[in-house]
Structure 1
Amino acid sequence: MSGDVTYTGSYEARRSARFTVRAAAKINLHLGVGAPREDGFHPLDTVYQAVSLYDDVAVHPADDWSVTTTVAEHLGEVELPGPGENIVDRVAELLCAHGCAPGCAPQARVEVSKTIPVAGGMAGGSADAAAALVALDRLWELETPDDRLLEIAALLGSDVPFSLLGGTARGLGRGEVVTPLTDTATWSWVVVPATGGLSTPAVYRHFDELRPDAPAEPPSAEPVLRALASGDPYALAAALHNDLQAAAIDLRPDLGDLIDLGESKGALRGLVSGSGPTVVFLCASAESAREVAAALAATHPHALLAHGPVAGAHLVEMD
């Protein structure tokens, strides 16, 4: 690519600007999956909840484009995208295409700090994309309207619009058609990352193998919606649902063993998060979550405490 991003602010202002945006991990409280459509995508009826595990994206002015990533110790050894292959690179390309002069090239130094499990079914990549959208839009002073940011987010991936919004929301279509939900409760979770990721396409392929008779319409999220409205963790535990869980456990039987272990230690319900392999446990209270995490520590020392719902992508630092 050639050319430069067109800035509306002064050279001095944009040379000294620095923005850090934080975005949260997600849990699918309900993930209903239908048979693949003609375009190959599976129709979904899902309920997302943003929980208090975060990735930060910091952007700095620069004369060229670079992305570096640091990974929290509890995530272990992970495979990161190569140069030019990070979803943040795609964010920059789309923002340039939709908000800048034709042929412009992105200019920024981007630092991604990850604490959300990588390839773990918690939308860590989508969180990075959402945070980068907000941060780069600020750095480049594009002032993109919120509805336009959501449209760009949908081009980046099914979970990215929700990562922008946060809270608790229902997702239809491929998950990208997002409607915020009223959720006034605070839900307590234990999150257990697994070593080694699971490929989302591989899990969906295995779902198709296990469920050749899957209906065209995904199972409805209505039971989870009623449980959320009640504010009762026992009701929500009974309603949690993930159509991909059987496929994920078939590929990784240790996930089923982990769910059994966590429930035996006092969790109300264990669930594979999205396509896995992260396992999440809903607990009756924050105190109960601490007890479950402590009980799992002998075999899973990186069991993490989280609560939800929390905000979507938001600015946490500006210099």
Structure 2
Amino acid sequence: MKSQFRGKHFITLQEWTKEEIDTLLDVSYDMKKKFAMGIPTPYLQYKTMFLMFFEQSTRTRNSMEAGFAQLGGHANYLDTSTMQISHGEVAKDTAIILSSYGDAIACRNCFWEIGNKYLREMAEYSRVPIINMQCDLYHPLQAIADLMTMQEKKKNLKRLKVSIIWAYAKSHKKPISVPLSQVLLFPRYGMDVCLAHPEGYPLPDWVIDQAKENARKHGGSVTVINSEAEAYKDADIVIPKNWGSWVTNQSDVVVDDLLEANRSWICTEEKMAMAKDDVIYLHALPADRGNEVVDSVIDGPHSVVFDAAENRLHTSKAVMVMTMNGR
């Protein structure tokens, strides 16, 4: 099947074939090599993109802004609280107008049961590609950077045990979009995915069903457990990260009895010692230090979190080039 990248939306990697994702990774590696060598990449010269943020951002905003500048274009940062969205303008109208002004629209909207629907409505009416900078369900930019980092560190990923583990945090009630995107993507590369969380923090049933189907097609596996120890045991890759109880409890209260009952779910050196000797530790960042993870782990020899954060630049550039200028 011939791929058509130009104008393709990037809302979830589930809508990209395995071959398309492989091409995206190839372009990401090429971007990284040229960045390291100081070779200019003016592939999107004079193009304009709009970055719409309903929430705060560090890595996503700066990887997109810096990356687009390095590609020769200009990214307009839009705080949606200063747009007419705050007065009720709908996604359809915003998409029609902005897509008439530039070459892509990127949006972050993580509000539960709103974010993905908002992006889908924009995609319906936009003339240009919509790039998901994180919604309530998906964070494809993070997932592809994680995959790239895992390939760099582990080479062949087939049948590696990657454990996506819920961790205690109280900074804010975090979206489920990072673990959801990971559990869908990693089985497509033949990995044995272990999703571990306490009772009360499930991902939607349809996600697990899709993940298991992805595993069946590509030779991996997906296991869902409530045991933190079992997740760490003999793991090749561990990703301990908090997510909120959105599936079972839509309240936006951050700290509640369920959260406090599971404060022992913190990544420590003792738990890391249960994994393989060459285990790597990943986190999307920002980490809630002292709650999700102890400093000696995130700053320790197994941690590759800053490598993954850097890769956000290169994978974002690849997404932009392929959807705005690809064939």
Shared fold per TM-score greater than 0.5: no
* Greater helix share, structure number: 2
Superposition TM-score, scaled by structure 1 size = 0.29
Superposition TM-score, scaled by structure 2 size = 0.29
* Greater strand share, structure number: 1
